[in-house]
Structure 1
Amino acid sequence: MANPFLELKDVPKNELPEFREYAFDFKKNQFVIENGRLVVLTQNEAIKVWAYKALITERYRYRAYFDDYGAELEHFIGTVTNDGTEAVEVFRYIEEALLVNPYIKDVNILGIEQEKKIFKLQIELVTIYGDTVLGIEV
């Protein structure tokens, strides 16, 4: 499947259409519906939903997603320490997963912790709309 962002790669950042994404309740694992309609988020709130979904989806596992979508974090389970070169490698994989989105200009990891099979991440996303912080467990 082709990356839908490829058609936007040559569009200047200030001319990109407004980013939109359906609201998703990650605790209930379902889309948010109000008055019988899916809730649509825009700009940074939409980008945070997209980023969360990209990070919890293992890359190359699902044929429904383009090859650039998702993260390759499973092989770090049980091997990553909270500091050192392995943490830098986790950051590189996270950054690679998120920077396929042309609305995201930069990614800064504010914190990475691992508890058994769960990574707790604090990520700053520098987007065309400004900075926003995403807290996520993957």
Structure 2
Amino acid sequence: MTHLFPQFSVPTADRGQGLPLYRDVQMDYDAGRPMWESGEPVMVTGLEAVKGWAWRAVDTARYRYPCFSWSYGCELGALIGRPYQADTKRSEAERYVREALLASPYIQSVRVSDTRFEGSVLHMTVELATVYGNSQFSI
């Protein structure tokens, strides 16, 4: 049976110790959706798989969807409508992203940079150090 939105959970284990090779659906980051070929999701492993998980974790509202555990997702929506100063908003956005991504045992550290709001749109660069190497993506 083919699912429209396949989800792959992150196995729990010590960070980097005895983790199975991470496998996940490949993401089309520009379109914001998983990639498909011949009716099946395109699968990737290692660094690209962890990067896709990270991108989706930041893009998913934490606590909103009952199909996800409470440790999955990001709380960026909590900043909407808050009367914070600009520096506080940027700092909180970075903290929310770091917390969301460090839930994965495959991610060892997260660095968020170039955080800015253009009106109500958040832009930032996220750099990941994973058990497979380093990667980055922008939101």
Q: TM-score, normalised by structure 1?
A: 0.81
Label 1:18 to 1:87 Cα distance change in 2 as closer, same or farther (>3 A): same
Aligned to 1:88: 91
Shift of residue 125, structure 1, vs aligned partner: 0.3
Maintained 8 Å contact 1:78/1:117: no
Which residue of 40, 43, 46 maps to 1:40? 43
Q: Alignment length, in residue pairs?
A: 130
Residue 133 of structure 1 corresponds to which residue in structure 2?
136
Q: TM-score, normalised by structure 2?
A: 0.81
Superposed CA offset, 1:4-33 (max 9, x none):
54x6233x6142111111123344454312
Mark the CA change 1:92 to 1:30 in structure 2 (over 3 Å): closer, same or farther. Answer: closer
The counterpart of 1:31, out of the listed 34, 37, 49, is 34
Cα pair 2:47 2:132 within 8 Å, conserved:
yes
Q: Tell me the residue number matched to 2:61.
A: 58
Structure 2: gaps spanning 5 or more residues: 1-8
Which 10-residue stretch deviates more, 85-94 or 47-56? 85-94
Instruction: Check the 8 A contact 2:57/2:72 in 1, yes or no.
Output: yes
The answer to whether structure 1 residue 8 and structure 2 residue 12 are counterparts is: yes
- Distance in 1, matches of 2:49 and 2:39, equals 20
- Deviation of 1:121 after TM superposition, in Å, equals 1.4
Q: Deviations over 1:29-82 (max 9, x none)?
A: 543122343210111111111111111111000001000110111122355665
The answer to whether residue 20 in structure 2 is matched with residue 17 in structure 1 is yes
Given the alignment of the two structures, is residue 98 of structure 1 paired with residue 101 of structure 2, yes or no? yes
Out of 69-78 and 49-58, give the one that drifted further: 69-78
Q: What is the root-mean-square deviation of aligned Cα atoms in Å?
A: 2.1
Write the letter of the residue equivalent to 2:40: R
Compared with structure 1, are the counterparts of its residues 29 and 124 closer, same or farther at alpha carbon in structure 2 (3 Å cutoff)?
A: closer
- How far apart in 2 are the matches of 1:18 and 1:58? 26
- Name the CA distance, whole Å, in 1 between partners of 2:64 and 2:16: 30
Distance in 1, matches of 2:93 and 2:121, equals: 13
